[in-house]
Amino acid sequence: MRAEIENLCEKLHYRFKNPELLEDALSHRSFRGNKNNERLEYLGDAVLNFVIAAALFRQNIKAREGELSRLRANLVRGETLTDLAKEFDLGKYLRLGAGELKTGGAQRKSILADGMEAVVGAIYLDGGFQACEACILSWYAHRLENVETIPDLKDPKTRLQEYLQAKKLALPVYTILALEGPAHQQSFKVECQLHGLPNKAIGIGSSRRRAEQKAAEKILAELESTYKI
Amino acid sequence: MRAEIENLCEKLHYRFKNPELLEDALSHRSFRGNKNNERLEYLGDAVLNFVIAAALFRQNIKAREGELSRLRANLVRGETLTDLAKEFDLGKYLRLGAGELKTGGAQRKSILADGMEAVVGAIYLDGGFQACEACILSWYAHRLENVETIPDLKDPKTRLQEYLQAKKLALPVYTILALEGPAHQQSFKVECQLHGLPNKAIGIGSSRRRAEQKAAEKILAELESTYKI
């Protein structure tokens, strides 16, 4: 294995039994058509999604499914993966075709993010699930610790409630105005009303909860434009 | 644990150390607001996605990323999960509120699919990753074995190539007609031409491969309408 790849392994805190897997993970399709990193990217994406989903589940014992999903989406999206790739200086190790190299492909966000996923896939194949999980959790330790600082990830009802509580105002009242359609495709029409404030909003959705969230979202948007909250 | 839940465990081929987890997984939000199955559903979705993604990766050693993604999407979509839930007669064990019960909620597809994911999440929490993976692979054994019978899952270029080969015709020729835009957002314009046939199509995409796939898709659509392939 080339010395510079050893260097990358140190940064990743992972030593490959089969270094060829890492070389595959670093090989963009512009470098070699066959055996490029796209299959590993597919695999890495799935491992990463699961490891982060499970970590958030364990860590946020009170968060609802919607909030967990939003947090996860934030932590595995391209932008976060690009940041992670930059922390490891991954662009330096990627193998790109001459054309991509010339046009700055090694710093292109999508190539970095895809490469990062492929590295995850390679570690999973090389060391198994537990070793790969341990790597991901160490890379994400800081982000997972600070997860509550990610803005606007709470669902609209929660945000509305927290806003009103902070202002010592009464909680919103949600009322079902109508329930339409056959049993398997019902549509709920819900009104959200704030006590002592003129704001009202109506949300429509396939469940009571979805309709309430939509109504809360509308009220939040109104409050934001009226009171610059 | 009620006898009927023991019955379900037998069908699932999994014995819970903590049967409360299974009861949570079976509890729809209409049955009890807090501690319903939605957090487990979120977790189960992530485990299932990963286990199926990894199984397809191992099993289809030549399939490209696009094909693997399509196969996975097919195997974890709501319809497949509903079928799985029906195999276990899951509707019988679900705990729904009176309203949902009355309107046939226990047979509603989305409730069955969500319940199935929640059961996966409960097994993961109860027995850990390996036990959960073993369950999923046993439930999916038949589907994974017959994965190549899932129609139309191959990417357009592969389908076009296989069609032409079956007809003993020459392979299509892809030509880049234009390459526009700055390095980080290039746009490829590719023509796909068939030897000895008048059909031609142009595809535009952010990579050569994407543009080729789009051109192949158009030609396939033409062949389908002209020759009823």
Asked if the Cβ–Cβ distance from A42 to B49 is below 8 Å, we say no
Q: Is A117 a catalytic site residue?
A: yes
**ipTM of this model?**
0.70
pLDDT at B31: 87
Which of A24, A40, A41, A42 to mutate to probe the B interface, most B CBs <10 Å?
Answer: A42
Q: Is the pLDDT of residue B159 over 90?
A: no
Domain B156-227 has CATH 3.30.160.20: yes
pLDDT at A205: 87
C-alpha torsion A127→A87→A57→B115, nearest 10: -70
pLDDT at A38: 93
Alpha-carbon distance B40 to nearest alpha carbon in chain A (angstroms): 8
Of B43 and B105, the structure prediction assigns the larger pLDDT to B43
Within 8 A of A64 by CB-CB distance, chain B residues are 38-39
For residues B16-33, one letter each, b for 16 or more C-beta atoms within 10 angstroms of the residue's C-beta and e for the rest, the string is beebebbbbbbbbbbbee
Within 8 A of B155 by CB-CB distance, chain A residues are none
Q: Give the closest of B49, B129, B184 to A46, CB-based.
A: B49
Q: How confident is the model over B18-31, as pLDDT tens digits?
A: 999 999 999 998 88
Q: In which band, very low, low, confident or very high, does the pLDDT at B4 lie, cut at 50, 70 and 90? A: confident
User: What is the rounded CA–CA span in Å between residue B143 and residue B149?
Assistant: 9
Q: Is the pLDDT of residue A131 over 70?
A: yes
pLDDT at A160: 87
pLDDT at A152: 55
Q: What is the mean pLDDT of residues B50-58?
A: 97
For chain B, domain boundaries? 3-149, 156-227
Asked if the Cβ–Cβ distance from A68 to B184 is below 8 Å, we say no
Q: Give the closest of A29, A42, A49 to B46, CB-based.
A: A49
What is the residue type of A123?
A: I
Within 8 A of A103 by CB-CB distance, chain B residues are 183-184, 186
User: Which of the residues B23, B24, B41, B45 is marked catalytic?
Assistant: B45
User: Which of the residues A23, A117, A133, A217 is marked catalytic?
Assistant: A117
Q: How deeply is A10 buried, as exposed, middle or buried, from its count of CB atoms within 10 A (0-12, 13-18, 19+)?
A: exposed
* pTM score: 0.71
Of the listed ranges A92-96, A125-129, A134-138, B154-158, the one predicted with least confidence:
B154-158
Q: In which band, very low, low, confident or very high, does the pLDDT at A153 lie, cut at 50, 70 and 90? A: low
Within 8 A of A54 by CB-CB distance, chain B residues are 43, 46-47, 124
Alpha-carbon distance A47 to nearest alpha carbon in chain B (angstroms): 6
Of the listed ranges A75-79, B156-160, B162-166, the one predicted with least confidence:
B162-166
| Cβ proximity of A206 and A149 under 8 Å | no
Q: Which two tokens stand for residue B13?
A: 């081929």
Decide whether B3-149 matches B156-227 in CATH topology: no
pLDDT at B125: 97
Q: Is B114 a catalytic site residue?
A: no
Phi/psi for A27 (5° steps) reads: -95, 105
CATH fold of A3-149: Ribonuclease iii, N-terminal Endonuclease Domain; Chain A (1.10.1520)
